[in-house]
């Protein structure tokens, strides 16, 4: 079972991807993680990717797909995998499809965790992170015992720049411009399934598992 997770930043798709991976015994593959692993291990693909990143350039889609295919060729992926953070654009989806077709393979499900922008701005604006240990909280859903102070190490909690409303709005507009078209792309392939991401996390998970069976 090969699954692609879609959804705006802050929609909770990463959390759902991890839960799916655990339930079905398949790896959760985040492109960020596999880039870091290849660079750390000094693989030829990792060195090639690092060359682009060191110059502040984006890693080309073809190289990203090569690194991804190298990862999904490993034994732990023989029963499937959950892709989180890739593809982000139509060209990436096309390169991935072409590469999988050449291996007589294909994506089974593209799951869109749908959350309106205003919910995401509110959700991310409520996040707080510890400056020392990195623990994360939410002022509504997972508040610290003492306001502004980390339960674990007693350090100050901050609103990260990434989570500030103006930054979130920018990230959302990039998402709508680049990634939203994938919804239509996978709808045409008859593999898109949409779940309501505004409900409780476990209800979102149940909706997904009902789809996957």
Distance CA 70, CA 91 (A): 19
Put residue 164 in one of left, alpha, beta given phi > 0 → left and psi -120 to 50 → alpha. Answer: beta
C-alpha dihedral, 133 to 138 to 141 to 145, nearest 10°:
60
Positions marked catalytic: 13, 88, 127, 160, 171
CB atoms under 10 Å from CB of 88, counted, come to 17
Phi, psi (rounded to 5 degrees) for 31:
-60, -35
State whether residue 196 is helix, strand or coil.
strand
Nearest partner of 82 among 143, 140, 15, 138, judged by Cα? 15
Q: Are 168 and 10 in contact (CB under 8 A)?
A: yes
Q: Are 7 and 114 in contact (CB under 8 A)?
A: yes
Beta sheet of 157-158, edge-to-edge order: 136-138, 127-130, 157-158
Q: Which tokens in the block code for residue 199?
A: 């409900």
């Amino acid at each position: 079972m090969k699954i692609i997770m879609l959804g705006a930043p802050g929609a909770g798709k990463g959390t759902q991807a991890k839960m799916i991976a655990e339930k079905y015994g398949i790896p959760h593959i985040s492109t960020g993680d596999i880039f870091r692993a290849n660079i750390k291990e000094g693989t030829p693909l990792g060195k090639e990717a690092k060359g682009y990143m060191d110059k502040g350039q984006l890693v080309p889609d073809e190289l990203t797909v090569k690194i991804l295919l190298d990862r999904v060729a490993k034994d732990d992926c023989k029963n499937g995998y959950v892709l989180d953070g890739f593809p982000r654009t139509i060209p990436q989806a096309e390169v991935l499809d072409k590469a999988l077709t050449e291996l007589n393979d294909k994506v089974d499900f593209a799951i869109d965790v749908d959350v309106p922008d205003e919910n995401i701005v509110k959700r991310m604006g409520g996040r707080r992170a510890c400056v020392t240990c990195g623990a994360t909280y939410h002022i509504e859903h997972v508040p610290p015992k003492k306001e502004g102070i980390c339960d674990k190490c007693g350090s100050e909690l901050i609103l990260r720049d990434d989570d500030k409303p103006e930054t979130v709005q920018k990230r959302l507009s990039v998402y709508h411009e680049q990634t939203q078209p994938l919804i239509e792309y996978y709808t045409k392939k008859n593999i898109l399934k949409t779940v309501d991401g505004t409900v409780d996390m476990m209800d979102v998970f149940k909706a997904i598992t009902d789809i996957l069976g």
